[in-house]
Amino acid sequence: MFDANYFRALVSGQERGLRASVLRTGLSFAEPFYRLGVRWRNRQFDTGKREIHQVEVPVISVGNLTVGGTGKTPMVEWLARWFRERGVRVALVSRGYGAEAGSRNDEALELEQKLPDVPHLQNPDRVEAARAAIEELESQLIVLDDAFQHRRIHRDLNIVLIDALEPFGYGHLLPRGLLREPTANLTRADVIALSRSDAVDEATRTAIRSKAMKHAPRAVWIEVTHLPQSLLSAAGTENAIDSLRGRRVAAFCGIGNPAGFRHTLGELGAEVVDFREFPDHHSYQRGDIDDLSSWARDLNVDAVICTHKDLVKVGVERMGDCRLLALRIGLEISHGADALTERLEAISAQIAASGMAASDGL
């Protein structure tokens, strides 16, 4: 019907004109039916008509309210590293959205490079995947990726990310807006994380927090920033991010929130001569790479920049006459770190106690 970029422009109101108005009206008629479907599904779990499975180890879920990128992958990576540093055997479990048959999706490929000692199981049946991780890999903790709406597994900590640049899906549920479910459903959250918090001013952060915490007053509120760490080539060589300052670059990405990526490049002082957006989870083909190479050659730029999520799928060293480099991003908690750590330490203590009880039983 229309691509993701046009859809975002349409529901945000950026797209103007008669055609856009008619389309928004049509989408508005469909929104109540989606709302009823979400309400019915959640009620099935709330009333016990659909089973919520309890697995044998603690589970942490990372998810969001809206479609598109909110920084879930950096949060998943940060959590896995935190527990691995404490000797906990962690497994990541996700549905595998966007993966071609028999392959792994881009988030899995990216996390595999960053966390080589953390297995990542992808399966539409995440209960089955979690049990496999526990029984076959002896995992002590399951981290569910993109799972706020996946309610079949009981979780010990429900982390929900809100993107500071697009916090509440333009105030509408799908298909009229970007919300997967109503903002009021934040009541299920234990931790609410404002991602890309440095992209907005304090007054905006306060307004977002006030609206979110109204629905989850007992939740921990944290604010996170996504900090550039280095520039990475397909061969694995790293360059300092300072090398972007004042450089003419072309950039492209196939992620849920391209605006966040472009914002980061601007903050680093790069002169973005041109910027191409592909759909989230885009599978790059030879024709795409040839087209991007011609595009970069015609622009006369110093480098071509993409995200790590794109690089693991493109897998080439150069585009046109330029080096292709990925911006590696890390997560930093700028507010609420102590409160989050307290929650994580409680789970770590639970795992340790479980291990001691198992040893006593031998």
pLDDT at 207 > cutoff 70:
yes
Question: Which residue has 């009229």 as its token pair?
Answer: 176
For residue 266, tell me if it sits in a domain: yes
- Report CA-CA distances (Å) from 348 to 77, 90, 353: 17, 11, 9
Strands in the chain per DSSP E: 59-64, 90-94, 120-122, 141-145, 157-163, 191-195, 220-232, 238-239, 248-253, 271-277, 303-307, 318-319, 322-335
For residue 50, tell me if it sits in a domain: no
For residue 41, tell me if it sits in a domain: no
Contacts of 68 (CB under 8 A, 6+ apart): 8, 163, 166, 178, 256, 257, 280
Within this chain, do residues 170 and 318 fall inside the same structural domain, yes or no? Answer: no
> What mean pLDDT comes out for the span 112-137?
94
> What mean pLDDT comes out for the span 106-118?
85
Within this chain, do residues 210 and 299 fall inside the same structural domain, yes or no? Answer: no
Within this chain, do residues 109 and 148 fall inside the same structural domain, yes or no? Answer: yes
Q: What is the pLDDT of residue 103?
A: 57
Q: What is the pLDDT of residue 68?
A: 78
- In percent, the amount of the chain with pLDDT more than 70 equals 95
3-state secondary structure of 175: coil
Is residue 142 within 8 A of residue 55, CB to CB? The reply is yes
- Residue predicted with more confidence, 5 or 299: 299
Within this chain, do residues 139 and 153 fall inside the same structural domain, yes or no? Answer: yes
- Mean pLDDT over each residue of the chain, to the nearest integer: 92
For residue 32, tell me if it sits in a domain: no
For residue 17, tell me if it sits in a domain: no
pLDDT at 361 > cutoff 60:
no
Within this chain, do residues 124 and 174 fall inside the same structural domain, yes or no? Answer: yes
Whole-angstrom distance, CA of residue 185 vs CA of residue 192: 12
Provide the pairing of β-strand 141-145 with 191-195: unpaired
Within this chain, do residues 83 and 197 fall inside the same structural domain, yes or no? Answer: yes
Q: In this structure, is the dihedral angle defined by the CA atoms of residues 3, 111, 91 and 339, taken in order, positive or negative?
A: negative
- Report CA-CA distances (Å) from 332 to 70, 71, 100, 296: 14, 12, 32, 32
Q: What is the pLDDT of residue 112?
A: 86
Q: What are the helix (H) ranges across 99-179?
A: 106-114, 126-137
CATH code (residue 233): 3.40.50
Give 338-353 pLDDT, tens digit per residue.
999 999 999 999 999 9
Confidence of residue 105 (pLDDT cuts 50, 70, 90): low
Confidence of residue 99 (pLDDT cuts 50, 70, 90): low
pLDDT at 283 > cutoff 80:
yes
Is residue 200 within 8 A of residue 259, CB to CB? The reply is no
DSSP 82-117: HHHTTT--EEEEE--TTPPTTS--HHHHHHHHH-TT
Within this chain, do residues 184 and 83 fall inside the same structural domain, yes or no? Answer: yes
Q: What is the pLDDT of residue 108?
A: 78
pLDDT at 4 > cutoff 80:
no
Is residue 258 within 8 A of residue 310, CB to CB? The reply is no
* Residue numbers of the domain that contains 76: 59-226+332-360
> What mean pLDDT comes out for the span 165-184?
95
Within this chain, do residues 111 and 154 fall inside the same structural domain, yes or no? Answer: yes
Provide the pairing of β-strand 238-239 with 220-232: antiparallel
CATH code (residue 145): 3.40.50.300
Structure tokens at 31: 């929104």
pLDDT at 357 > cutoff 60:
no
CB atoms near residue 117 (< 10 Å): 8
Q: What is the pLDDT of residue 2?
A: 65
Confidence of residue 362 (pLDDT cuts 50, 70, 90): very low
Within this chain, do residues 63 and 204 fall inside the same structural domain, yes or no? Answer: yes
Give the angle subtended at the CA of 15 by the CAs of 9 and 18, to the nearest 5°.
Answer: 140
For residue 272, tell me if it sits in a domain: yes
Q: What are the helix (H) ranges across 170-285?
A: 202-215, 258-267
Among 34-38, 93-97, 242-246, 247-251, name the one with the lowest average pLDDT.
93-97
Among 4-8, 83-87, 252-256, 281-285, name the one with the lowest average pLDDT.
4-8
pLDDT at 19 > cutoff 70:
yes
> What mean pLDDT comes out for the span 287-301?
94
CA nearest neighbour of 317 among 330, 328, 332, 306: 306
Total number of domains in the chain: 2
Within this chain, do residues 260 and 210 fall inside the same structural domain, yes or no? Answer: no
Q: What is the pLDDT of residue 352?
A: 94
Within this chain, do residues 119 and 215 fall inside the same structural domain, yes or no? Answer: yes
Q: What is the pLDDT of residue 102?
A: 54
> What mean pLDDT comes out for the span 94-107?
66
Give 130-161 pLDDT, tens digit per residue.
999 999 999 999 999 999 999 999 999 999 99
Within this chain, do residues 242 and 106 fall inside the same structural domain, yes or no? Answer: no
Question: Which residue has 């199981």 as its token pair?
Answer: 121
Give 223-241 pLDDT, tens digit per residue.
999 889 999 999 889 999 9
